[in-house]
Structure 1
Amino acid sequence: MNFQHTEDRRMLADALNRYVTQEYSFEERREIAASEQGYSKAKWRQLAELGVIGALFTEKQGGYGGQGFDIATVFECLGRGLILEPVMESALLAGTVLLDAESSVHQPLTEGVVSGNTIAVLGHFEPDSGYSHTYVGTSASRAGDEWVLNGCKVNLFQGQSAVTYVVSARTSGAPGDVQGISLFVVQAGTAGVSLRQHPSVDGGRVVDLVLDGVRVPAAAMLGDEGKAAALIERALGKGVLALCAQAVGAMDVALANTVDYLKTRKQFGVPIGSFQALQHRMATMLIEVEQARSALINASAAIDTEDRIAREKSLSAAKYLIGKVGTLVAEECVQMHGAVGMTAELPLSHYAKRLVMIDHELGDAAFHLERFILFGKE
């Protein structure tokens, strides 16, 4: 297998890394995180113009990439800058289910999401669902030529930025059943839709989406009734890949910052990086990060296969390993910085928080280890 990126991907990575370094400084990120919106519309437009969103989709879908390695390239760069804009939530997750549903009724929305002109957020997980993609308690019941939605979706990252929500709801069956899950397009501001907004540990914003007797037309259904589980699983798989790539990018920056600190911080008149114990710990982290990078490469190659078992095993293996390694890197880098590593003024503390949070998004290490084992039995 050739592990070298194509020329197009190398050019995209170079452009994105320059953008992160020159146009998305830590100070700017802090200002964006503290703003009322929680993200920057200007930065969102710039990312779209750089080709970030287009790289996530094939030419047929309106982009110019769409393969696993394209997704990994984009999100590894975004992870280096701890980008707050909802690239994963809107473009990748919502965009994937919209495209895979192949709904002509929602074609304008799909085109808007793929172009970056519209922000839509996927609302799927619920207070009692854990990380299961089939546990859906939100209900959708028929009322004439409308559907009435009742339920709650939690932890929609940058959900306050969306003008449209793509929401999963159960039209038949019981929570946990594979069959009976449907998707609905719900406009922000619809009667009965409310948001509970709160900050996340890593500086972003998340919202809980409450649906209280929300009425939507029959045309709001996305795809076939009761058959959305496969669409959701495929989209969440791409989300797992994106998170793994983000983590690898963030780990690279955390390691580089720690190496610089060990070279400049002195004790007993010498840089602490000369101490053998710290050198051993850095070497261990470097080995673990390279192993995580290999898992990311394997998942990037597997995401495009039609073999569901092989695809999901590779994704869970990568998420498990990267969750464990990300936590290790976060803890070790903070400890090597000493007390200053915990301060909000130092970028490292924010990378550490993001790495810990990535482990808990779309399934933590324990969940994906169990999932990997279960798929191995099929």
Structure 2
Amino acid sequence: MDFDLSEEQTLIKDSVSKLLKGEYDFEKRERHRAAPLGFSEEIWQSFAELGLTALPFTEDDGGLGGGPVEMMIAMEAFGRALVVEPYLASVVLAGGALRHAASAEQRAEILPGVASGETRLALALFERQTRHDPALIAMRATKDGEGYRLDGEKSLVLHGDSAHGFVVAARMAGSPGDTGGLGLFHVPADTEGLGRRGYATQDGMRAAEVQFSSVRVTADDVLGDPEGAYPVILRVIDEAIAALCAEAVGSMERMVELTTAFLKERKQFGMPIGGFQALQHRAAEMYMALEQARSMMMFAAMSAEEPDAVARRAAISAAKVQIGRSGRFIGQSAVQLHGGVGVTMEYEIAHHFKRQTMIDLAFGDADHHLALLGESGGLEAA
């Protein structure tokens, strides 16, 4: 199997790496976080100018027609730099829901704005009781004349405080726990009855609690089957996990790089601490964990477009298990080898470790996905 990047993929990698190297060192990232929106609008526009916001969308929808490998390249670079812009929220999550559920007319109306970076969307999916299972969604969508009325609350909506609109999952029929009866709706952020409360998350990102009180949407705002969105939701989650795996590997790579440099520079008893064999062994173990994670990142990217939902979910779960375990081991080792400075917010390692922890928890941690993998009989059975 050929793992070499094509000429176009290499160009994407070089372009995004060059941009982030010049505009996204640790100090600049902290300034971006302190901006009113929690990220830099100038950097977001630079992403759009490079075509990154258009990457996964077809040319008919105003995009570049990239696939999971191209997304992997971009997300890995974002992980190294600890990017705080709403790429996952708008392009991967909300954009993915539109790609898979919206009609051609809806995509033509909404996606060009997302692809150009002018429109930022957020996926309002999970609620306080759902944990990692979207079948437990309780928010109701009630038929109201020619349209629908949405009532309920959504929790931890990534970058929901600055989104121009939402893709909302709500229940048309059935009870929480049923996989049927779920629909997806496009709701502009300025719709009457919609309220939101934004806040910073532990890893430097932004999220919001979003309330829907008799929010009216039209039939044209329904994305696909109003009672058959569950398979689409699972597919979007799988693609998001594949993207997060790539981001995690980029972050792990940076932690290994920083730790190796620290071991060479920090001196104890008149010599660099990297000369102590025990620390060399730990650094080698960090590198092995990184390469194990990298191989599963590639596996997740190659499996993200698998049409068989069972096989796709097994592959994605297997990748999430390894990514979670490698991220925790590398993060803990990096902090331990750095000593006290490794847990200070003035140093980059601590921020990477926080982001690794949040990535592990997103859409189910390693233990959750290990249980899913066991229930399915493992990769071979899937």
> TM-score normalised by the shorter chain: which range applies?
over 0.9
Task: Report the counterpart of residue 249 of structure 1 in structure 2.
Answer: 250
Instruction: Detail structure 1 runs of 4+ shifted over 6 Å in the superposition.
Output: none
Secondary structure of 1:57's partner?
coil
Does the CA-based 8 Å contact 1:261-1:337 persist in structure 2? Answer: yes
> How many angstroms apart in 2 are the aligned matches of 1:105 and 1:80?
35
Aligned ranges 1:193-204 → 2 under 5 Å: 193-204=194-205
Match of 1:28 in 2: 28
After TM superposition, give the deviation of residue 54 of structure 1 in Å.
2.5
C-alpha contact 1:55 1:74 (8 A) present in aligned 2: no
TM-score, normalization by structure 1: 0.97
Match of 1:116 in 2: 117
Counterpart of 2:291 in structure 1: which amino acid? E
Query: Which residue in 2 is equivalent to 1:8?
Result: 8
Alignment of 1:264-303 (within 5 A): 264-303=265-304
Q: Residues 167, 328 of structure 1: CA spacing in aligned structure 2 closer, same or farther, 3 A cutoff?
A: same
The 5 A counterparts of 1:177-326 are 177-326=178-327
Distance 1:61 1:305, change over 3 A: farther
For structure 2, the residue ranges without an aligned partner over 5 or more in a row are none
SS in 2 for 1:194: strand
Which residue identity does 1:323 align to in structure 2?
Answer: G
Map of 2:162 onto structure 1: 161
More off after superposition, 197-206 vs 120-129: 197-206
CA RMSD of aligned residues (A): 1.4
SS of structure 1 residue aligned to 2:363? coil
Deviation at 1:263, TM superposition (A): 0.4
Query: Could you tell me the TM-score, scaled by structure 2's length?
Result: 0.96
**Residue in 2 aligned with 1:142?**
143
Structure 1 match to 2:366: 365
Q: 8 Å contact 1:91–1:116 — kept in the other structure?
A: no
Q: Residues 90, 243 of structure 1: CA spacing in aligned structure 2 closer, same or farther, 3 A cutoff?
A: same
Q: Distance in 2 between matches of 1:105 and 1:14?
A: 33
Partner of residue 95, structure 1: 95
CA drift of 1:106 comes to 5.3
Count residues with an aligned counterpart.
378
User: Percent identity among equivalent residues?
Assistant: 39
User: In structure 1, what is the Cα distance between the partners aligned to 2:128 and 2:102?
Assistant: 29
Give the AA of the match of 2:95: G
Describe the superposition over 1:166-216 as per-residue Cα deviations: whole angstroms up to 9, x where unpaired: 100000011121110001111112222111222111111111111122122
Q: Distance in 2 between matches of 1:47 and 1:221?
A: 29
Question: Offset at 1:36?
Answer: 1.9
CA distance in 1, matches of 2:80, 2:259: 14
Partners of 1:123 and 1:108 lie apart in 2 by 20
Alpha-carbon separation, structure 2, partners of 1:41 and 1:5 = 30
Q: In structure 1, list runs of 5 or more residues that go unmatched.
A: none
Determine if contact 2:140/2:172 at 8 Å carries over to the other structure: yes
